[in-house]
Amino acid sequence: MDIEARIIELGLKLPQASDPQGSYCNCVRTGNLLYVSGKGPVAGLEVVPKGKLGREYTTQQGYEFAKVTGLDILAAVKLELGSLNKVSRVVKLQGFVNATEEFEQHPKVLDGCSDLMAEVFGSRGVHARSVFGATSVRGNLPIIIDSIFEVIE
């Protein structure tokens, strides 16, 4: 499957990959694994969302933020590798949901990114994952997601 064509077929558009927000890089490759630094819903948006799930945002809005974050992750991967066709497997996603103490829908929020990876890569996009509630994250973003991909030469 041609991943670049699949993205177009799904009606998606990759944003320009967001820049790191500190003293680190977007991606590190070791062997056949590509580690992508934490990304939030910032790339390609006119207004960057700030706030907590369960207070400023609903679970459905969080799902959409996770999907937008997934597109930024894919943009960073493409920038690093030159082509998303070099991804052989999405290995893991790890999400940090900026949420109120009462919020319990963390997995449903991260599904926005998980569903995107499965739509784009098919069975190769189904991955392991972890999701955590956080009392704060950088920039007061509603979600941060880091990821690991298996890649080919």
Q: What pLDDT score was predicted for residue 1?
A: 82
The answer to whether 113 touches 67, Cβ cutoff 8 Å, is: yes
Per-residue pLDDT of the chain (153 residues; tens, 9 = 90+): 899 999 999 999 999 999 998 899 999 999 999 999 999 999 888 899 999 999 999 999 999 999 999 999 999 999 999 999 999 999 999 999 999 999 999 999 999 999 999 999 999 999 999 999 999 999 999 999 999 999 997
Domain for residue 22, yes or no? no
**3-class DSSP assignment, residue 42:** coil
Domain for residue 85, yes or no? yes
Q: Classify residue 54 as left (phi > 0), alpha (psi -120 to 50) or beta.
A: left
Domain for residue 102, yes or no? yes
Domain for residue 67, yes or no? yes
Domain for residue 121, yes or no? yes
**CA–CA distances in Å: residue 111 to residues 17, 33, 43, 60, 64:** 21, 23, 19, 10, 9
Domain for residue 26, yes or no? no
Q: What pLDDT score was predicted for residue 21?
A: 84
Domain for residue 25, yes or no? no
Q: What one-letter code names the amino acid at 129?
A: R
Answer yes or no: pTM beyond 0.95: yes
- What CATH number is attached to the domain comprising 143? 3.30.1330.40
User: Could you tell me the residue range of the domain that residue 146 belongs to?
Assistant: 3-13+31-151
Helices of type H across the chain:
3-9, 59-81, 106-121
Residue carrying the six token digits 């590798």: 81
Separation of alpha carbons 73 and 9, rounded Å: 19
**CA–CA distances in Å: residue 127 to residues 19, 46, 67, 78, 113:** 25, 30, 15, 19, 11
Separation of alpha carbons 135 and 119, rounded Å: 31
Domain for residue 23, yes or no? no
Domain count for the chain: 1
